[in-house]
Amino acid sequence: MILIEAGERSVSAFEARLALAGLLRADGYDAVIDEATLPEDLGRHQKYEAAAIVVATGDLVPSHVLILTDGTLDDATLATLHDYRLAPGIPVTLAGRFADRQAELGARARIAYATGREPALIDLRQQSMTAPVPGGRCPGLIGGTGQRRTGSARMRLAIFLPGDIANAPDAAAALQALDHHPKIDLQIILTDGQIGETRPLQSSARNIADLSELPPVAAAAGIDAAAFFGDAMPEERLQLILTQLLGAGRPVIDATMPELLASGGAPVLRGPTDLSALSPYLDRTVLPNLAQIEATLRASPWCATRSVARFADLACLPRPARRTTAPARPRRTLFLPTNGVGLGHAQRCALIAREMKIKPVFAAFPSCLPLINASGFEAAALVAKSPDHPEPFANDIVNHLRLQRLLADGDTFVFDGGFIFDSVARAIREKDVRSVWIRRGLWQAGATSSAAFDREHLFDRIIIPSEAFAELNRPPGWDDRIRMVGPVVPAAPAADPRPDLRDALAEKAGLPFERLVVTMLGAGAAADRTAQLQFLCSLFERRGDVLHLIIVWPGAVVPPGLYSWQRSRVARTTDALAFARAADLVITAAGYNSFHEVLYHRLPAIFIPQMAEFMDDQTRRARAAAERDLARTVDAQELLRLEREVAQLLDMDGAAALRAALETADLPQTGTAEAASLIDEVARR
């Protein structure tokens, strides 16, 4: 382990450590950071990045200690170094840009006192390894940054700028012009944490991110050219990204008023400081000369001195045993369904996965595992959110680490969910994977401009399983990554696969019945349905001919009062459809899966829609079926109407009428196979 330290415990010094560790790790070195040395006020995204690099103090087995310092060495750092009790043969190396000889000698001496050995020294200025802008602590090193594949021939331009410039009155027009430039794929990267303040920018550009959420080495691999605006000293991670670009022969445009990059001697292009002039500048100066710019940069002495390998040699780091390369296993497809309100995402993924040419694998939350396993797929467990965790995103940090291990360059990553977790976004950014978002439609009004869509740009393909009724589908627009497919729903079998199910239920319940009613109102995550369930139980308790099955997912929390009824029974199952198919009446929420199962399996049903801000528009969906006389719809608070509808369907041939209408209903072809085929196509790229 190469232990990366810094002379102080500040957040900015930690950024430098993260940056250096990331660079070294990308080149195969086992660079780590001691968990005990993290600053207390780390940001959310720094925690994600640190998680993969930090090691608990007790597990540290350092073979080398690298300390970044400009001469500053605080007591905490010296105490930590002293307390490591490093074995005699473990070398310690200082790397920094020192103001004068005394700063260098002083740092060397204090490290010698604290570690009991004379440190080696890399004077970054002398070695021409300083960061592009003076003041950066991390050496300005160039790693083996690759260039991520891209589906288009357009130049991927990243504009780094602070929020005040992005929000300036004429910025929107300039950015919009660049976003629609025929030769450019634009990324806007906010450098000052003002991402939340720039929501209006979404109408100007599609790909907006905050610098803090970008893993630097991986981010650089996805950028072909960069322009840097503003007059603030660039953060360590930005310096690292820009250095990687220069090292890879990709143009970096210094658009700062004080010429921050150019004045430090970095081989950058001096560009216009006004955003509106950037497009013509690119057209005239950059785009026609990319090959020459690359050649010039590759021959630049500035770049020649900055390789990670040279730094490693100066620090006498042993060559890594093996470099990070593509895994020995074949490329694969990994599905990650979110756990959502029910198990709809997992069910949809399992259906699509069954149709794929090469069997995929899953990463899933514990509540989804039984369903996925029952569908015949292996699944690695993710960690669900819990109020017991110290931070609301603690589980997602663990999931990020798991995804890092599960995914390898070249894999295909399929996410099905409404909200794109940081772990998902990072997995896509960090690995050179093909990415697919299965995104059901029917968003509530205004939801498509929410944070859920901020990360849409990360995906190579977006598959939208359509709704059965045309008015519920929104046109996909002109984004060629988006494909709509027919409803993803289990195919209705020609013959009833379980003709004896009703007899088995009667025997198991010890209760003969003539009518079977199946209720599936959800797990209560979006809305509490205890009152409705109790009402239905009391309703059926009065009838001697009904067995009322309340279907819940395994692991769902069930109100204890439901167990006290004679004619109502709770059944935990991942195969709700089998019971629904055997029922005379289904009372269900109008989630995507249950709704389409009702339609495509011709099940007489009453929909009680669930609505919550973060969910799809179940009310619209249920009404669309009711308006066609294919189902009945009852609002959650309409209990008396619910009673009437139940009586009408069970006692007055209402159910038979619904079945008849469903038999003749003109429903679109299902899209499960097409969705699978679209994923296969992405995976083959």
Residues that bind another protein (CB under 8 A): 75-76, 78-80, 82-83, 85, 100-102, 105-106, 108-110, 112-114, 116-118
Shortest separation between residue 122's beta carbon and another protein, angstroms: 16
Round to whole Å and give the CA distance between 457 and 147.
18
> Any idea which residue has 């339609």 for tokens?
599
Shortest separation between residue 38's beta carbon and another protein, angstroms: 17
Among residues 109 and 277, whose Cβ is nearest to another protein? 109
Round to whole Å and give the CA distance between 180 and 435.
23
Count the alpha carbons within 13 Å of 63 in the hemisphere toward its beta carbon: 11
Shortest separation between residue 83's beta carbon and another protein, angstroms: 6
Among residues 117 and 206, whose Cβ is nearest to another protein? 117
Shortest separation between residue 57's beta carbon and another protein, angstroms: 13
Among residues 77 and 588, whose Cβ is nearest to another protein? 77
In this structure, what token pair is assigned to residue 282? 């690119």
Shortest separation between residue 464's beta carbon and another protein, angstroms: 57
Among residues 108 and 596, whose Cβ is nearest to another protein? 108
Round to whole Å and give the CA distance between 572 and 590.
19
Return the DSSP state at 624: H
Shortest separation between residue 309's beta carbon and another protein, angstroms: 28
Count the alpha carbons within 13 Å of 445 in the hemisphere toward its beta carbon: 2
Q: Between 44-51 and 422-430, two packed helices, what is the crossing angle to 10 degrees?
A: 60
Sign of CA dihedral 18, 19, 25, 26: positive
Shortest separation between residue 100's beta carbon and another protein, angstroms: 7
Shortest separation between residue 7's beta carbon and another protein, angstroms: 14
Amino acid (1-letter code) at residue 582: A
DSSP alpha helices (H): ranges in 8-95?
11-26, 44-51, 75-84
Round to whole Å and give the CA distance between 653 and 659.
10
Among residues 117 and 481, whose Cβ is nearest to another protein? 117
Shortest separation between residue 109's beta carbon and another protein, angstroms: 6
Cβ atoms of residues 615 and 444 within 8 Å: yes
Among residues 36 and 667, whose Cβ is nearest to another protein? 36
Among residues 78 and 287, whose Cβ is nearest to another protein? 78
Count the alpha carbons within 13 Å of 28 in the hemisphere toward its beta carbon: 13
Q: Which of 86, 91, 90, 95 is nearest to 19 (CA)?
A: 95
Sign of CA dihedral 478, 479, 485, 487: negative
Cα–Cα distances in angstroms (integers) from residue 77 to residues 34, 54, 67, 103, 114, in the given order: 11, 16, 10, 17, 9
Helices first, then strands: H and E counts in the chain: 24, 25
Among residues 116 and 493, whose Cβ is nearest to another protein? 116
Among residues 110 and 306, whose Cβ is nearest to another protein? 110
Among residues 77 and 594, whose Cβ is nearest to another protein? 77
Round to whole Å and give the CA distance between 15 and 542.
68
Shortest separation between residue 5's beta carbon and another protein, angstroms: 15
Kindly report the backbone phi and psi dihedral angles of residue 159, in degrees, each rounded to the nearest multiple of 5, phi listed first: -105, 120
